[in-house]
Every structure is written in C-alpha cells, then in structure tokens.
Structure 1
Amino acid sequence: MSDLNQPVVRRLSRAVALTPAVLVSVASTAAVAAPPEGWEVAEPVSPMAFLIVLVAIPLALFVVISLLVLIPSMVRGEKHAPGQAWRSESEWFGGPRGGLEAADKVDPKAIEGHDEADRGGASVRW
C-alpha cells in the first residue's frame, strides 16, 4: 500500500468500528408502553420502610462485617504497636523450607548456576 492510502484505510476502519455503537445509540428509545391492565397498582412505600431497606440494613451489614474483622485482634490483643521496633521473628515467604538457617547452608554455586550453559534469561542459552 502506498502512504496515501493508509490514512484512508484508517478512517474507514474507524468508521466501520464505530458504526454499531452509533446505530445502537440512535435506535434505542425509552419504553413508552402502558403497563397491562391486569397488573395491580403498587402500594406506596412509607418513608420508614424506605429508610430501613436502603439505609439501615446496609449500615447494619457494614457494622457486622467490620466487627467480624476487628474482634479477633481485639480478643488476642495487638502484638505490634505502630511506631515501635519489630520484636518478632523474621519471616521469608517463598524462601527455603528450613527457614533462615537453611539459607546460610546453601552452596553459593547452586544459587549462581553451575556454568554458562545452565543460564536462561535474555541470553536464551539452553
């Protein structure tokens, strides 16, 4: 393709890609049909029922979930206070199974690789 045709192809592909969205937006209208005559007229909802369903129940769920999360730490007590030094044992996630002592016993050559042919990475020498 020549350079002159590329902008035309791009514009055409954009127009084709946007056509379904434009058609759906233009074709969609609000439903104006009347409800069937067999349906009963809904009773009005009291303001108290409205507040209970839309405010009180979600607020109660929020409080219950928050308490379920906080109670375990409140029962057993805080082990670490903010601003104080960490006095517990160190943890190494994904480290050797024997803990930190096992890391000191590992041969450095096993970590670095045996020779050049064993390396992977960007060199991709297998």
Structure 2
Amino acid sequence: MTDRTTPRRRPARLSRTALLAAAVLASSLVATPAWAAPPATWTDPDNPGLAQALLTLGGWVVGIIAVIALLTYLPSMIRGSRGEGTLTFSEKSEWFGGPRTGVDHEADEPQGTGGASARW
C-alpha cells in the first residue's frame, strides 16, 4: 500500500523552502553597511603591543588562579595540618564534615539480631 499524501507534500515543502531562501536572499541584499563616520571629538586609542596585551591577559589569568589556590589551601594552612595524608593514599575512611577524631567502628558490628535471618 502506498502513501497517497507524499506526492502532494513535495510541492508544498519545495515552495516553503524556496520562499524561505528568497526571504533570506532579499534580506541580505536589502541590508547595507552604515557609512557614518565617528564624531570628530573622538580620539584614536593607543593600541598596546602584542607582548603587553598577552602579559595583561596572562597576568589576570595567573592572578585569578593564584587567588583560587590560596582560598582553597588557606583553611588547611590555618589549621596547621601538615603531612596528614596529603597527596598520599590512606586506608582510613574519610568522612567530610564529620568529627576530626574519627568514628567508633565497634558500634558498626552486628548485634546478632535482625537482618536477613528474619529473627528479631
């Protein structure tokens, strides 16, 4: 069985595409550049050299990175925690925001009741 609406849709789609292309072409031909001159009271700015521009932009980037790094490491610098597992692997569990002394692991052992055995 064939779709009887397909032949009818093709001319409509083609005409819509042609109309859109004509509108885009017409709008690009109608648009003209502005030929206005800048006011006479404006002065030409002195453009910095390439080296000065790169140093200025690079200085801002390096400065922002330095401020972020300082704000990141400042709390540990104030606490004075030196060498406590920094940049090394530690087998101890880490609880972020928890007590600094750690957690009592003896309370985690099962008491022999409950669980999957269905005994209470």
- Normalising TM by the smaller chain, what interval? 0.3 to 0.5
Question: Normalized against structure 1, the TM-score is what?
Answer: 0.42
Larger Rg: 2
